[in-house]
Amino acid sequence: MAELESPTVMPKLISFLSSLLKRVAESNDLNQQQLHQKISVFHGLTRPTISIQSYLERIFKYANCSPSCFIVAYVYLDRFTQRQPSLPINSFNVHRLLITSVMVAAKFMDDLYFNNAYYAKVGGITTIEMNFLEVDFLFGLGFHLNVTPGTFQAYCAHLQREMLLIQPLTFADSSLSLGKSLKAHLCFNEDEASSHQKQQQLAV
């Protein structure tokens, strides 16, 4: 996990994920009527005043979960939107989806993790709401939490390609071999790499 634990790589990854989610949310905001979006427990009454990047940076600062959790959270968000097409990521739900996905990823990936009350405080919501969000998210995923090394590596490769396309000079020298560095951290047997090639990523 050397690359992700670098003091320079993770901030870049957080920044890119924030930018990616912002583009997706704004695009779905514009297409709200065409997409027939429905209201869910993740949907806020108003758009949060805190930006997606500031919110994700706050989670990164206080959650103290392993760096791989943010990749796994990204996988979960992709799975969630695929399984719940009427609940696309938008400006009203992206913050709650973020805090929930990171918390679920930390519980699945890490031996030690904070409880729901702590994540609720980090996310700026109540513990009761955090509990509801977790249950809805798990059912939305169909409890499909397993992330194989192949899937993990495929998502890392996708993120790396996107990062290089957007800022080639910034990221080209960072040696962001995310999948390779974290493959040993995962301990799953199933290989989803081939099926992942057929999946649509969050990027628009």
pLDDT for the residue numbered 7? 59
47: left (phi over 0), alpha (psi -120 to 50) or beta: beta
Share of the chain above pLDDT 90, in %: 38
- Dump pLDDT digits (tens) for 69-94: 999 999 999 999 999 888 888 988 99
Length of the chain: 204
DSSP class of residue 202? Answer: S
Query: Pick the residue with more confidence: 24 or 32?
Result: 24
pTM for the structure as a whole: 0.76
Q: Kindly state the tokens that stand for 175.
A: 């040696």
Whole-number Cα distances in Å, 92 to 22, 74, 101, 170, 171: 11, 18, 16, 31, 31
pLDDT digits (tens, 9 = 90+) for 92-122: 899 999 999 999 999 999 988 899 999 999 9
d(C-alpha 87, C-alpha 89), whole Å: 7
Place of tokens 């108003």: 46
**Averaged pLDDT for residues 119-144:** 94
DSSP class per residue in 1-40 = -TTTTSTTHHHHHHHHHHHHHHHHHHHHHHTTTTTT----
pLDDT at 34: 57
pLDDT score recorded for residue 66: 86
The whole-number average pLDDT for the span 20-36 is: 78
